[in-house]
Structures are given as C-alpha cells and as structure tokens.
Chain A
Amino acid sequence: MYQYDHYDQTIVNERVAQYKDQTRRYLAGELSEDEFRPLRLQNGLYIQRHAPMLRIAIPYGLLSSRQLRMLAHIARTYDRGYGHFSTRQNLQLNWPELARVPEILELLASVQMHSIQTSGNCIRNITTDPFAGVAPDEIVDPRPYAEILRQWSTFHPEFAYLPRKFKIALNGAAQDRAVVQWHDIGLDLIRNEAGEIGLRVLVGGGMGRTPMLGSVIREFLPWQHMLTYCEAILRVYNRYGRRDNSFKARIKILVKALGAAEFARQVEEEWTHVKDGPSILTQEEFDRVAACFTQPAYETLSDQVPGLNARLAQNKAFANWVRRNVHAHKVPGYAAVTLSLKKTGVPPGDCTAEQMELVANLADRYSFGELRVSHEQNLILADVKKADLYELWQQARLGGLATPNIGLLTDIVCCPGGDFCSLANAKSIPIAAAIQRRFDDLDYLHDIGEIDLNISGCMNSCGHHHVGHIGILGVDKNDQEWYQISIGGAQGNDSSLGTVIGPSFAAEDVPGVIEKLIETYLEHRTEEERFIDTLRRIGVEPFKARVYRGTRDNKAKEVVNG
C-alpha cells in the first residue's frame, strides 16, 4: 500500500498542529461556533446527539495491520472500545471528547493516517473497489489513481468551501463495485482500442433527497489528464453550483439544470485553459505511486487444494461460509475473504477493539498484513491462500467475524440513524437487528439467496437505501418514527432506483413486511432467479398487493371519506 514520504508526513503533522490550535482557540472562546464548524467538519468532527463523532479517513478503504491496531488503541483509549465502519469506507468513533481530538489526530499521524476532509463541503475521501488489485475482472488497478487524487484533493485551496460535499469514486473492473454512477464524479478506468489507459468520466450522480444517476460527460480521458479534468469540473461547480439552498447545492442539481451536454461543454471549455498545464500527470509520478501497489510476494500454487473439498463436504458451516464469504482471486491458489461485521444483534459495521486486533493478527498471518474496508461495511482480507481458509475460518469464528451472510438478507447496510445521528428521522440500527432476528435461520437465509437490504435513518441516504433491492427509509410523521419501503433498487453495472411500495410502516411492522416481500419472491421465482431478477420480471405490483392486502381498501375508504 501507499507509504508516506517526507512530504506526506509533513502535511499531516502540520494539520495536527493547525487543528490543535483551532481547538484551543475554540475552547478559549476566540473562535465562534459558526466559524469553528467548517474547521472541525473538515477534520471529520461532527457534533452528534450524545457526543461528537469523529470520522477517520481510510483512503480508498485500504488499511495495514499496524494502522488497524492503532485504531483499536484509539477506540479503547478515547472511545468506548468500538468503532463503526461506514458506507464510505471510513471509520467512525461515536464518543470521543472534543478537547482530546487533537491527541487522536496525533496518534493517527504516527501511522500515516488522518481525518482530513472526511466531512464538510469539500472533496471527501476517495473511494474505490475493495477488491482492487485482486479481482479477476479487473481491467486497471484503481489504487494508484485513487492515491494521486487523494493527494491532489488534500487541502486543495480553491475547493475547500464548495457549495456542498463532493465525492469521487473510481472503478477499474468490468463489474463496478465502487458505485461510480452514484458519485459527484465517477471515474471508470478503461482501455481504448490501442490499449491505452483512460477514464470514462461521469458527473452528477448522488442519492439523498433527489437521487440521480451520473451522466457520462467524457467517454475517454487519457489518464494523464485526470487532475486537470477534475479541476475543470470542480471549478465550474464551485462557481455555478447553487449556494442559496442546501438541498439543491450538490453538483447533480447543476448538471440537471444545465443538462449534461451543456454542463460537459462548460467543463470542456474550462479544461482547454488548464489541460496542458503543469498538473498534467507524469509517468514518473505515476510510477512512484504505483510502485506502492505492486503485487505481494505470492507463492506459485495450484488452485486445487488437497483436502479442501472433503472439508467442504463434511462441514456444512464451513461450506456455507466459503460459499458466501470467500471470493475469487486472480492468482491461482488464493482467495479474498470477507469478515462479516453483520452478526445478528450487532449494529451493522460495528467492530470492537478486540475484533480489530484479531483482524490485524489475521491480516498479518494470512494476508500480507493488509486489509480493506468495503462500502457494504465489512472487512476484507484480499490475499488469503486457499489452503489457509479452514484455519482462518475457525479463528474468525471465535471473534464473531465469520457469519456466513455476505450478500444475503442479513448482510444489511445501515447508517447509524437515530441512535447517534442528530439529522435522523428515525432509528435504523434496531430495524436492522429486528430483521436479522426474523431471518436468523441459516438454511432459510441461504435459500432466499442474494439480496441487498439497505437502511437509512433519513433522506441523506447514508445507508444507500435507494439502491437496495429492498430499501428502508426512516421518515418522520407527526414526530413519530415511520419507515418507507422501496424495492427494486440496485447498484453496480445495472444500477436502478428503488420504487416506494406505498404508505410507510411502524417499526414493529417492518420485519413482517420484509417477510411478505420475501414470500412473494419465493412464490414467483424460477430456479436461477435472485430477488432482484424476479422483481424485474414480474414488476412491483405483486409485491405491493401482498404487503398491503387488506389494508388497501381501508386506506381508500379513508381518503374517500376525508
């Protein structure tokens, strides 16, 4: 992974000093609340319901075991012994003390980490495929590009006070696992006919109150121009994005208002001025960064592991885990493994300090000392020898990290919601827990098969409910917590937005509604169909009809009488 040089280290050290002084001035009353807010936000510090929340950057989801041990230490010393991995591959601490955050930043800097620009109206943490570098369908490894973008966006002086937050994602594989269509800028690394590497540039995707898929504004941008083109996009946005209404301030609103073609024209016009400037990337700089992402020292192995098949045949629990949590790897004899943070009864994405230390040890023993955080809020060991799978499984199981549910109904993506977040309309964690309890039967769960269930506590959509095959959104009705349910959303290459099925539900009814949706699917599915396939074939109506059977007429009558 990327290693800081003297300059990178100096920048994070100077940031710690700067923020220490800002915190001191705030506490001394020299900085007002309003003036301190953007400063602390650009260091990832929110003021939440109970306490501040600190969001630590995990650039493109990549961590070393040493860094994870430091995160465990910080969680134990400055928090309540756990952290929450978010849908943007970051780590959130829910209970740090504002006055001690500079100490935390100092510890982070000691392991080449920071919390820079994890919040605020600036360019946020760059995200990418958690299987980067190991996925069999990879075309171009996105990590060097992500690191180059990280450096460019760090303290970019012109783009620190944008109309709104700004998220960039990169994908380099045939199957998009970085959800580039849902980002302010989505970059798809591709090769042209001559074999040269370039970027397909999408702009204006985003969830939130007005969900929109990004539009392609350039089919092929030579990679050397990645920074100059982003600069052009950001400049157009910084100047013309709406600042009068925070609900309309994201770039997607500007792209929609102008039309993608006109927006692209303005970007291209801006770009003609900067494209041949000094920010054009050099091969030398690319090579320097890419040298940090070379392949680890893989052994030459056969893909057939003696004894593995017998184990799988004998041990159903192990077989379930391998089926769900072990993924293909481009190198024979190796696999990528997801450690599930979705055990029933534990808030999705939460991880204790002990678990972090266990994962750090597992990474050292089995995966070259590195791991990844996925935007589905799980941890991934990307380079595990197949021969080690059984051993790894046993150890992960002891740590509560081997729930065999990746991609299944209980692998719920869920934001912190009303338990922590002051913006929430409703709680989300208890809903996830109730659904996990309802579907706790493993055989049933595996029979239902692949399905994405996403929960957000409000329209800000941190739980990405728009793209869940089933999406649950917390809404506020007369000061009560209600849940609106949508179906048919999807991420990846065939992204779609979910359709709301009808009036919302009280918390206690949600698991029952999910059950009815699942039953409808099971009744209609053909052999190979996943939930989303059946839904796309038969449409939303049969699902709706099942869920609202009996209640529909009553509703209609009420309206008529009203």
Chain B
Amino acid sequence: MAKLIRHEGIVEDEWSVLRFPAKEEPLRKQAGKPVLFKLTGEASATPDEIANLAVPEGKTIIPLPLWLARSDELAARLAAATLGVWIDSHESPEALAGSLDDLNRFAVIAVNFPRFIDGRGYSIAALLRTRYGYRGELRAIGEVLLDQLFYLKRCGFDAYALRTDQNIDDAARRLRDFSHPYQAAADQPLPLFRRQARGLTA
C-alpha cells in the first residue's frame, strides 16, 4: 500500500485512485510551445471511455465524469463508504456539488494537480470547504510536492498523496512553514487582524 500524509502523520493508504487509461493525444501547441494544461471546462473523457471504465472492488476514488454519468449504478458503493471521487484541475466543483444533496456522503474527495504549477486545485479545494460544506477527507493527488504543502493545507486539504520521490518524513515540517499567516483561508476562517491584537510589540 502506498503511503499517505493524513493531517500531519504518515499512514498506509487504503484507497486506490481510478484514472482513465492513458491515451495518445496529439501534441497541441500554442505560441510554439506544447500545451500543458487543459482549459477550464474542457471535456476529460469521451462518453465511451466513461461508460467502459470498470470500477474495481474495494475503496476506490473515481474520476468526476464517471460519477456524474453513472451515479445511480454507484449508489450502493457510496452508501457502503467505499467510493470517493476525484476532480481534475480543469473540472467544475459546482458540478460535483450539484450532483448530490450532501457532499459529506463521500468518504474522500481528491483534487488532482496535473502539474504542481497548476493553481486551480487550490481554488477548487477552497470552494469545496467554504462554499459546499465538505468536511470529509480532502486529498491532494497528482504532482504533490513538499514545497506546496503549506498552501495546500491552508486551502482546506487534510491529506496528501506526495509524489513518490518526495521525502515523506519532511512533510510534517513543511506543513508548518509559517505560524501566523495573514489571510483568512479554509483552515483558518479569520484573518490575522481578527485573531490577534496586533501592535508594535516586535
């Protein structure tokens, strides 16, 4: 089993993430450079791919398009708490939130970072926590690196599947890079100026 950071501890990960099979995509270019990001709202998979993807037994985190298209068939898995869902950076948390009455019926929701410099996942997490009332495990997957952990935590993540080459023993420290951030965020709903009496006491 793979390792996972949950809160600040290292645990065995009992979930597996189901992805669409990798396919050969024609290399797209913009301004002479390869396109590395999907545009927000772009389709993730074809209807065939969605229909044909088998969901294995056991605790499985499935892609959002699959959940949206096949939620009836997967209702029992949801009830048995063996179903999680993951959302990609170009996908819509609104669609996820609109797909069932209470997001907390998912034991886990994951947000994928196709590349660590793709910052959309931070907004998605913030929305799931602060707007759509999700309180369960919110997990960062994909290119999750040590140096982004602090920001991820602040946006509401509480579990992190680090890329395998990362030094997992360093994670707890990285989650505490800063002790008194200025802004309100998902992990701390009050900005510094409402949390502390500030003044010239340096």
Contacts and interface: CB of A to CB of B under 8 A. Distances in A.
Q: Which range holds the interface residue count of chain B?
A: 35 or more
Contact of A156 (B116, B179, B183): B183
A151 B122 CA distance: 19
A31 B198 CA distance: 37
Nearest to A240: B40
15 contacts: A35-B147, A39-B147, A151-B182, A157-B122, A157-B150, A157-B152, A161-B122, A238-B119, A239-B124, A242-B39, A243-B37, A243-B39, A244-B30, A246-B31, A278-B190
A157 B37 contact: no
10 closest A-B pairs by beta carbon, nearest first, are: A161-B119, A157-B154, A245-B30, A243-B37, A285-B193, A157-B151, A244-B35, A151-B182, A158-B122, A7-B180
B47 interface: no
A7 B178 contact: no
A5 B202 CA distance: 5
B96 to A, nearest CB: 14
Interface in B103-148: 116-120, 122-124, 126, 131, 145, 147-148
Interface string A1-29: 00111111111001100100010000000
B184 A158 contact: no
A7 B167 contact: no
Contacts of B119: 121, 158-163, 238
A8 B117 CA distance: 27
B179 to A, nearest CB: 6
Contacts of B124: 239
Interface of B: 28, 30-31, 33, 35-40, 116-120, 122-124, 126, 131, 145, 147-148, 150-155, 167, 177-185, 189-194, 196, 198-202
A166 to B, nearest CB: 11
Interface in A145-165: 151-152, 154-163
A247 B116 CA distance: 20
A282 interface: yes
Contacts of A5: 198-202
Interface in A197-249: 227, 235, 238-240, 242-248
B70 to A, nearest CB: 26
A227 B151 CA distance: 19
Given A14-B177, A151-B182, A158-B123, A243 B118 contact: yes
A152 B183 CA distance: 6
Contacts of B191: 152, 227, 278-279
Contact of A11 (B118, B155, B167, B180): B180
Interface string A269-302: 0000100011101101100100000000000000
